[in-house]
A and B are shown apart, each in its own frame.
Chain A
Amino acid sequence: MSGGDLTESAAALYRLAPILRARILRMINAAAAGHPGGSLSVIDMLSALMLAWGRNRPHAPLNDWLVLGKGHAAPAYYAILMELGYIDEEELHTYRHLGTRLQGHPDRRKFPGVQVTTGHLGHGLSIGAGIALGEKILKSGRKVYVVLGDGDLHEGQTWEAVMAAAHYRLTNLIAMIDLNGLSQHGAIEKIMNFEPLASKFESFGWRATELDGHDFNQLLRALGSTQNQDRPGVLLCRTIKGKGVSFMEGNPLWHSRDLPDDLLEMALRELNVTQ
């Protein structure tokens, strides 16, 4: 991907970003429940990965794996799956309702658009490492992207997987961590500090890259840098919880809650999305 292409792709992603955010908010409004903060912090990472980089590239359709470790950000996943044509607007509003394919956490048995069923924090990187080990044995060339949140790093299992991925030299494994710095009860540094992360991952045998998780040029460049890595790679994406909606940004109260009609309208106006 040349520099010019990169800027062009990034520009398209910037144009789409408010539309994806609006979809997330409408889903949560219709469900009267969900996780707006973490969905808005991860959406730019996911759109860079899924729309510009990964699965829908014309020459490699569905070729790579996505494990959404932070499964509670399902609205962000569904917003992009709609962009890819798996869901229509009407179905989007069935999220979390009885009989829906769009479960509160991604469920591949209910909805084949989901590649990997996820939900419990801490499980995602192990599952991704298992897929990566399998693809490595098969010499398939398929890559595995695991999208994690701060909470995943509090689970000991994640660090078991970090160890195993380095031990088996899973060069086809890329972890993208949505570091919005807030978990449900407050700031990570107060809940349970895990910094410095880059040196932790490096000392375990990974290659770590720090970047702004809302900067599409940085995201695309960082993804590009993982393609021929000699060890598992982690993209430490610094993000803002609730990004794009001023009254949600940096406020842990928006980790998990309802979004009533009046606040939805206010948020959509801010995003400048009316349709």
Chain B
Amino acid sequence: MKTVRAPRDIIGPTLAVCAAGDERLIVLDADLGRSTRLTVFEERFPERYIQLGVAEQNAVGMASGLIYAGFRPVFVTFTMFAIGLPWTQVRQAAYAGLPLKIIGTHPGYDIGPDGGTHQMFEDLALSRVIPEIEVLTPCDTPEAIGAIQTALVSPRLTYVRIGRHPVPDLHDESVNFQIGKAEIIFERGRDFVLIADGSMVATACEVAERLSAENLKVCVVNIRTIKPLDEDLLRELCRSARLTVTVENHTVFGGLGGAVAEVVSEFGGRLLRIGSRDRFGESAPTTDLLRSNSLDVDGVFDQIVLAIKTI
């Protein structure tokens, strides 16, 4: 039985380990440190934990300034307030070539009961259109640790999207998280290529098991980074696939589905994008929202089977 846990829980502990070996690492919080699991870091490195209150635009601006002064700042908050609220400030930091690190938690339906105001389905789209930026979507806890460690040594501005909803560990601690390198995490043929990010990778693997049980030749790609996208692997797999499917806890416009569509359209491949459609969310527990929006295993499976029937 695989360990099931929320990837966000490792944010503070991982940053603390990294900070022990890097005296310039500094963490910025906008009053959500308890929810983003920064308290371990705050207790261990109080002098390098900068509380800025509910003022995210200023937080990104001050993080930019700290980089000029020689520090390596990491700004941690909910996806909505990490990318949505201070988008222009993030974009200007990228323009200035500053290697700012942003960790966004509680993506999409993960913030369930808070409702549609706080459910962020647009952050991957908003971030990946910014030039020179990197967008990382680790799928489980070991990958979340790897993604943070990898982001910290990257010379670019990096956005790491980390889930709150518990997911099974699909990797162990030895996972090698590389920016721009996707992973084929399940492979029993290549007629049907399922591409997923974050918490949807585990869902896609379960769906693939069921499709495989119906004698369909299917593989699952854990995309790992939305930008840069592993276009070589996607071309190799999707060009010969009967159907490519993207699965994301995000709007199907402009995120993973949009990015894959840009590649698949080069050769006219058939594509099904599964995710949040053109609508806002609502309050409910995350599992209920995933079920009612056909993003649980049954829902994703049914959508794919229906699409296969129309090929």
Query: Measuring CB to CB, which residues of chain A are less than 8 angstroms from any residue of chain B?
Result: 65, 107-109, 115-117, 119-120, 122-123, 125-135, 137-138, 156-157, 160-161, 163-164, 167
Q: Determine the residue in chain B with the shortest Cβ distance to A109.
A: B97
Are A131 and B69 within 8 A (Cβ)?
Answer: yes
Contact partner of B62 (CB less than 8 A), chosen from A107, A108, A133, is A133
Query: What 11 additional pairs, Cβ within 8 angstroms, besides A115-B68, A160-B55?
Result: A120-B88, A123-B61, A129-B62, A130-B68, A130-B73, A131-B68, A133-B62, A133-B66, A134-B70, A156-B57, A161-B62
Q: Tell me whether B18 is interfacial, beta carbon within 8 Å.
A: no
- The reply to whether the CB of B64 lies closer than 8 angstroms to some CB of chain A is yes
Task: Assess whether A157 is in contact with B92, with CB atoms less than 8 Å apart.
Answer: no
Give the nearest-CB partner of B86 in chain A: A157
B92 and A138 contact, CB distance less than 8 A = no
Complex: A11 Cα to B63 Cα, angstroms: 40
* B97–A130 touching, CB < 8 Å: no
Report Cα–Cα, A133/B52, bound state, in Å.
12
CB distance from B66 to the nearest CB of A (A): 5
B65, closest chain A residue (CB)? A130
Closest-CB distance, B46 to chain A (whole angstroms)? 12
Chain A contacts for B47, CB-based, 8 A: 137
Specify which chain B residues have a CB less than 8 angstroms from the CB of A157 in the assembled complex: 55, 57-58, 61, 89
**What are some 22 contacts across the A-B interface (CB < 8 A)?**
A65-B68, A116-B96, A117-B92, A117-B96, A122-B57, A123-B88, A126-B62, A126-B64, A127-B64, A129-B65, A133-B50, A133-B69, A134-B65, A134-B71, A137-B47, A137-B71, A138-B69, A138-B70, A156-B57, A161-B58, A163-B55, A164-B58
Contacts of B53 in A (CB 8 A): 163-164, 167
Question: A104: shortest Cβ distance to chain B, in Å?
Answer: 13
Q: Is A134 in contact with B95, judged by CB distance below 8 angstroms? A: no
B96 touches A109 (CB 8 A): yes
Closest to A132 in B: B65
Interface size class of B (residues with CB under 8 A): 20 to 34
Q: For residue A167, which residues in chain B have a CB less than 8 angstroms away from its CB? A: 53
Which A residues lie within 8 Å of B66 (CB)? 130-131, 133-134
Are B65 and A133 in contact, CB atoms less than 8 angstroms apart? yes
Q: Which of B25-76 contact A (CB under 8 A)?
A: 47, 50, 52-53, 55, 57-58, 60-71, 73
Q: Is the CB of A127 within 8 A of B68?
A: yes
Q: Which of B62, B73, B89 has the most CB of A within 10 A?
A: B62
Using Cβ atoms and an 8 Å threshold, which residues of chain A touch B69? Answer: 130-131, 133-135, 138
Which residue of chain A lies nearest to B28 when distances are taken between CB atoms in the complex?
A: A130
CA distance A167 to B50 in the complex (A): 11
Closest beta carbon of chain B to A140's beta carbon, Å: 8
A134 CA to B92 CA in the complex, in Å? 19
In the bound complex, how far is the Cα of B50 from the Cα of A134, in angstroms? Answer: 11
A52 to chain B, nearest CB (A): 24
Closest B residue to A130 using CB positions = B65
Which residues on the A side are within 8 Å of B63 (C-beta)? 130
Within 8 Å CB of B71, what residues of A?
134, 137
Q: Pick the contact of A126: B65, B70, B95 (CB < 8 A).
A: B65
Residues of B contacting A126 in the complex (Cβ-Cβ under 8 angstroms): 57-58, 60-62, 64-65, 89
How far apart are the CA atoms of A201 and B92 in the complex, in Å? 26
- Pick the residue among B50, B52, B62, B73 that contacts A127 (CB under 8 A): B62
